[in-house]
Structure 1
């Protein structure tokens, strides 16, 4: 009898411990964002029409055909006159970049955004448990995370991760890493810094597929603060609901469509091919097969399954567009806001068309591309900043973030807004000007003769 009682007590204590562990594990799964800060360069680095043209014309490797191509690209790119270029490019050093140029560029972005973030959230750098820095095109010794740790004298047991080569989708990769680490570290603070190093990667050759990067990529970045401490839930602005990462690198065309390389003359740059839009569509479709059931209501999942089955029976040999349309459910039933990576006008148009989004839905992404250009991994947060500055984000709203990056990757996540968000952030001095009544491109007026 005593043995039976002992066994029952042992089972009871084990069950209690197991349930406690499950509850604790569930608590650690939460990921709250306490704040974010986007970088805004100085006025002296603003890339207006005159400066942009002077940079183009001083490239002696370009001929009349390349000039015409550049003009058409700039006119169609959807970028205005207020984006920012690296300082060494402004000074005319793009052909002879030095390591100090890249490090100075990173220091400006890192320390300005982090200083503001620590001040706004009232969290000390010495409280940070996890630090993730993602910069695709710069890997130095000591690492970029070490520069941050040294500047802010962070504690010796901070867990530091330096991500490189991850492309424009690196920001969500870094957040996924934080989310996984939160399962192990209780009541922790994590910093993610997302940006790109352009100083040493401004292309000075004449290959058209590599010139494109100069027309799209601009200086920018963002620092974010996260925690899994539920006691700080009342201070959070966003809560991560789910994350889905898709890597389409097994497909050769997708792998090659977005790649760093040297041209035939040894000029290093970033090649973007015409296959990029198709790679984005295919990887996005694969991603949504996993994301859809996580975010959509049951009735929408059932409707989508029925319609997809009916469409497949109707046409077993559908075109690519029909296949993609059939494969994508109505995401508006699972999210109120769409935060899409402003990788370029073609990508924005393609995502908008496939998801059936309105111009209101696409406005934050289009305006971010127009104002700041493609700032690579930091771009999503400028889009979020636009929504916040426009006071669109209300408590309980859901935001879907969609990002694409070299590899080829499509990463998505869902956020829940924890409180009404209305900070003007990096947009505060110009938000009233957006969206403009008409988007005028001065390049066509001043340099239209090149296209004749």
Structure 2
């Protein structure tokens, strides 16, 4: 009898050991490391300063003075500088009748440039890539862009490809989340994520204000990321993915329609950014962070928040009953707020616009230092859509602010409406590495973004004085 019991105990013991080992192995396979990334910087002849923008705007025969003033006001409030980049076909005057060749040329330049640089710097061969994910929201040709990449680099015939379209500005995080889930199924793989946008086919040539906004904000950009779940390559990793959380507000009609591709009453196609966008974005981000933050903030901060919230609610009830004598400023804002910086060291907010960055900063209780990288990425490169957060990350790296063990929160917002956030951990000291900021990082933070003298001249002459001679002179130069 004793031998039988001993055998049962041994069987249970080995079963426990087996499942513990299996769990550890599965956890190792779920690792997602970033080995390298590249951001796209266009040629100098594609820069879009205020004068170049004015010339392009004035080529639109559907705009009157009021629409022109609206565009200038929007550009001035956007937080963008004089050195962002636009599509070559738009700069050359072909925005009203773009061809398929124009669109493909624009996409090829950004995607193939960042991939060429990535392969050259990492020494990884295209034939070693096991998984390929491409994000391109507003352009979906056939064959797909993933097929175009496979053909260009002669990748293996068993490479697993995923072409994401229509996913909006948060698609970069969505692609990373997809790769992480694929890593759960496949061991020791290399994944390549490419994020870009095609502005050429969707440059708006009408006069509806909500559809003119993307012309003011969106600029050319792109990025590529090399990821792996092979622990043998861990020593080469820059970042390790801690978690990704995706929130989709598409079931809400307002959320679905606040960023949407559409045509105006004259048939001009474009992209609508409605007035409800800030409200929808705030709701989506709040829903997302309720899931994400408890997993990354320390228990002490969560307990402090719970206690503070209970006290604040109790005081609020007492005040409403007229019995409270507590000073009104004891609990600012009438409630408690989580201190994100107890678990997050750096913030990469989607550089969609100055108002977007400042709105998120205020709601999360962040300082100007915390959002400096997002504002500078917006100023130098504009809203580069799906690639935007990686220009922000590149700024932090170029400024040598990233230390081993630091945690980075990336916040992506996009059409649908979607909020896709992820948290990375820095794996090693990131010093001396060159990236897209290398030639001008010493000029930043850029003071001129507060009051750009060239823009001030245009604003004064066009918006304030409505100087007909000045506008006519610009129109003549635009022809």
Question: Is the structural similarity TM-score above 0.5?
Answer: yes
Q: 1:325 to 1:392 in 2, by over 3 A?
A: farther
TM superposition shift of 1:9: 6.9
- What's the counterpart of residue 187 of structure 2? 186
- What's the counterpart of residue 434 of structure 1? 444
- What's the counterpart of residue 461 of structure 2? 449
TM superposition shift of 1:253: 1.7
- What's the counterpart of residue 77 of structure 1? 78
- Alignment map for 1:257-268 (pairs within 5 Å): 257-268=258-269
Q: Which moved more, 1:253-262 or 1:226-235?
A: 253-262
Which stretches in structure 2 are left out of the alignment for 5+ residues? 321-330, 465-479
Mapped to 2, the partners of 1:19 and 1:314 lie a distance apart of: 48
Q: 1:134 to 1:253 in 2, by over 3 A?
A: same
- Alignment map for 1:80-159 (pairs within 5 Å): 80-159=81-160
- What's the counterpart of residue 338 of structure 1? 347
- Alignment map for 1:253-292 (pairs within 5 Å): 253-292=254-293
TM superposition shift of 1:15: 4.4
Q: Which moved more, 1:326-335 or 1:174-183?
A: 326-335
TM superposition shift of 1:447: 4.4
**Aligned to 1:139, what secondary structure does the other structure show?**
coil
Mapped to 1, the partners of 2:419 and 2:303 lie a distance apart of: 25
CA contact (8 A) 2:399 2:441 kept: yes
TM-score, normalised by the number of residues in structure 2: 0.90
TM superposition shift of 1:16: 4.5
Mapped to 2, the partners of 1:29 and 1:434 lie a distance apart of: 38
CA contact (8 A) 2:73 2:459 kept: no
TM superposition shift of 1:358: 1.1
CA contact (8 A) 1:288 1:328 kept: no
Q: 1:325 to 1:100 in 2, by over 3 A?
A: farther
Mapped to 1, the partners of 2:74 and 2:332 lie a distance apart of: 30
Q: Which moved more, 1:326-335 or 1:383-392?
A: 326-335
RMSD: 2.1
- What's the counterpart of residue 352 of structure 1? 361
TM superposition shift of 1:444: 2.4
- What's the counterpart of residue 199 of structure 1? 200
CA contact (8 A) 1:328 1:354 kept: no
CA contact (8 A) 1:30 1:240 kept: yes
Mapped to 1, the partners of 2:31 and 2:300 lie a distance apart of: 27
CA contact (8 A) 2:308 2:336 kept: no
Q: Which moved more, 1:33-42 or 1:436-445?
A: 436-445
- What's the counterpart of residue 380 of structure 1? 389
Which stretches in structure 1 are left out of the alignment for 5+ residues? none
TM superposition shift of 1:109: 1.2
TM superposition shift of 1:420: 1.2
TM-score, normalised by the number of residues in structure 1: 0.95
**Matched residues, number:** 449
CA contact (8 A) 1:325 1:354 kept: no
Q: 1:4 to 1:307 in 2, by over 3 A?
A: closer
